[in-house]
Amino acid sequence: MQPSPVTKYCPFPPVNLPDRQWPNRVITHAPLWCSVDLRDGNQALPQPMNIEEKLEFFALLVKIGFKEIEVGFPSASQTEFDFCRRLIDDNRIPDDVSIQILCQCREELIVRSLEALRGAKNVIFHLYNSTSPKQREYVFGASKADIIGIATKAIGWLRQHGRSLVETGTNLRLEYSPESFTSTEMEFALEICEAVTDVWQPTVANKIILNLPATVEYATPNVHADQIEWMCRHLTRRDATIVSLHTHNDRGTGVAATELAMLAGADRVEGTLFGNGERTGNLDLVIVALNLYTQGVHPGLDFSDINQIRDTYERCTRLEINPRHPYAGELVFTAFSGSHQDAIKKSLPYQKPGRPWDVIYIPIDPADIGRSYKAIIRINSQSGKGGVAYVLENEFGYQLPKLMHKEIGRIVNDLADAKGTELQSAEIHDIFVREYLNPREPLHLEHCQSTKRDNQVNCQAKIIYRGQPLNITGRGNGPIDAFSRALTAAGVPAFELLSYSEHSLGRGADTSAIAYIQIKDSRGHTFFGAGTNTSIELASLKAIVSAINRSLK
Ligand code: KIV
Ligand code: ZN
């Protein structure tokens, strides 16, 4: 990198709009959406989609609810032309969906594109030419007047050659893009848009779409919003115009730029699913739509089965979605950090039907987009006690006493640390069984019988202690007390009982019980133990044995 001062790059000039209105507005309704997956997105694929893949993708877009879909560039290649024809000839376009095609401002290409569109019910014919000073000078060597001439002549050709299409029943609309709009002088962008509008003569009932692309994203989103507000204020036929956004993501702020420009007055948004597109991509429509949804504004697009949408997208484009991708990424409903897991676990019970969604760390209910809570908590060495307890309770039914969370959390964390990777739920269960339920060394309870007389319980048990089979007896005010006394009388180091809890496990004929006991040994150290059995009494005695084994380990 160039050392400071950086002279190699120039800051983007701001727009002179001191009375800008957009910062005080809120978004209250969804924009018109247009998917450009099959054109801008497809152009950017290392291996573009074949016709079958494009057909599958088109069906997906229709299912999601897009009413405007840019299907390609039919004058650019035979495949693109054939795809357009397939859609029309196979009757695959619902009556309420407009197909949009892109075309350069050249007469023969306009004529060819119109052939591809014959028979379509609703068409948006998208013409574009580059308008920025750099494009004018470096690429075209053209004056401003030349650039305006290119656009206005093309609109005239479209009127002329499109007449027969309109006469045979096609609803033909025009979209015009001053390509590289955001890098164009505002006054010139306005001038060319006005010139195009003059030729097309839109009405309030049949509006022109003026698409104002951030072909390359060079500025911060507030500058983009200023540019859009400036245009919205200066267009003379604003009421006969649909102002459309088309952001790219070179600075990683395509979504923010679109959202602020919606505040600035834009009516329509172009983009792609998951942001596929040239370089760093087009605007990600899924993010903008679901961001709206989480603010209480229905986007009018259906992402209730986002996994299926993702699968189709990945198969057709051969691109993979990053696991951290908002809403769709595999890991976005997964918390690894202990404090996050704890907060999620604690806020979930507050989620009552009919109440607004308010789960800490999870801004959208995963169920709304077909994802599940199950994957929310996964365990690695960064996880805390809450996460382990959550998994054991939600997936295996063990309601560990709160004080035990820390103990088992530490054991699981140490093992996750040693393993170096995430632990699956089954592995956490194995750890619990291995640490608490299975150990038989140095103490094992073979058999126990207790009898009650005069409010006292007598316990007779058979144990194996340090390899020695022993018959032991004890008397106390309950089975646990009697068994504890029998153990200490037989030479097991003394301990104090601190806490006890139990609950049933499973249902019906398979019901058993689990007991949790906490003891304190003679050094003052505390240990939990757990035991299961169909008899709750035996489960408690096994829990004592488990705690003792852990203390003597
Ligand atoms: O990014 C862009 O400017 C485009 C135009 C063709 C609209 O894709
Ligand atoms: Zn683009």
Helix, strand or coil for residue 321? coil
Contact 263, 25 (CB under 8 A): yes
Contact 428, 438 (CB under 8 A): no
Per residue in 22-39, pLDDT tens? 999 999 999 999 999 999
Ligand 1 binding residues, C-beta < 6 A: 40, 102, 128, 177, 179, 211, 213, 215, 246, 248
CA of 211 to the centre of ligand 2 (A): 10
**Preceding amide of 363 cis, omega within 30:** no
Per residue in 326-373, pLDDT tens? 999 988 998 888 788 888 888 988 999 899 999 999 999 999 999 975
Contacts of 528 (CB under 8 A, 6+ apart): 401, 403, 404, 407, 408, 436, 516, 517, 518, 547, 550
Split at pLDDT 50, 70, 90, the class of 509 is: confident
Percent helix, strand, coil in the chain, to 5, is 45, 20, 35
Residue minimizing CA distance to atom 8 of ligand 1: 40
Domain 443-552: CATH superfamily, name plus number: Alpha-isopropylmalate synthase LeuA, regulatory domain (3.30.160.270)
Sign of CA dihedral 143, 146, 148, 151: negative
Please list the residue range(s) of the chain that carry CATH number 3.20.20.70. 27-317
CA of 180 to the centre of ligand 2 (A): 9
Split at pLDDT 50, 70, 90, the class of 270 is: very high
Res 375: pLDDT: 45
Atom of ligand 1 nearest to the CA of 177: 7
Rg (CA), the chain: 34
Per residue in 47-85, pLDDT tens? 999 999 999 999 999 999 999 999 999 999 999 999 999
CA 547 to CA 435: how far, in whole Å? Answer: 10
CATH architecture of 27-317: Alpha-Beta Barrel (3.20)
CA of 270 to the centre of ligand 2 (A): 9
Best mutation site among 100, 126, 127, 215 for ligand 1, i.e. most ligand atoms within 8 A of its Cβ? 215
Quick one: average pLDDT of 188-211?
Answer: 98
Per residue in 286-305, pLDDT tens? 999 999 999 999 999 999 99
Atom of ligand 1 nearest to the CA of 270: 7
Per residue in 110-167, pLDDT tens? 999 999 999 999 999 999 999 999 999 999 999 999 999 999 999 999 999 999 999 9
* Residue 485 burial class via C-beta count within 10 angstroms: exposed 0-12, middle 13-18, buried 19 and up: middle
Share of the chain above pLDDT 90, in %: 88
Share of the chain above pLDDT 70, in %: 99
Please list the residue range(s) of the chain that carry CATH number 3.30.160.270. 443-552
Best mutation site among 177, 217, 243, 248 for ligand 1, i.e. most ligand atoms within 8 A of its Cβ? 177
Nearest ligand to the C-alpha atom of residue 100: 1
Res 490: pLDDT: 96
Atom of ligand 1 nearest to the CA of 248: 1
Residue minimizing CA distance to atom 2 of ligand 1: 215
CA of 362 to the centre of ligand 1 (A): 34
Q: Is the pLDDT of residue 96 over 70?
A: yes
Strand-pair category, 495-505 with 512-521: antiparallel
Give the Å distances, CA to CA, from 215 to 131, 144, 282, 329, 437.
11, 19, 9, 26, 63
CA 528 to CA 548: how far, in whole Å? Answer: 9
Q: Is the pLDDT of residue 380 over 90?
A: no
Contact 228, 213 (CB under 8 A): no
φ, ψ of residue 149 to 5 degrees: the values are: -60, -40
Residue minimizing CA distance to atom 1 of ligand 1: 215
Nearest ligand to the C-alpha atom of residue 128: 1
Contacts of 302 (CB under 8 A, 6+ apart): 63, 64, 65
Split at pLDDT 50, 70, 90, the class of 264 is: very high
CA of 83 to the centre of ligand 2 (A): 20
Res 374: pLDDT: 55
Residue minimizing CA distance to atom 5 of ligand 1: 179
Dihedral-angle region of residue 506 (phi above 0 means left; psi in -120 to 50 means alpha; beta otherwise)? left
Atom of ligand 1 nearest to the CA of 180: 3
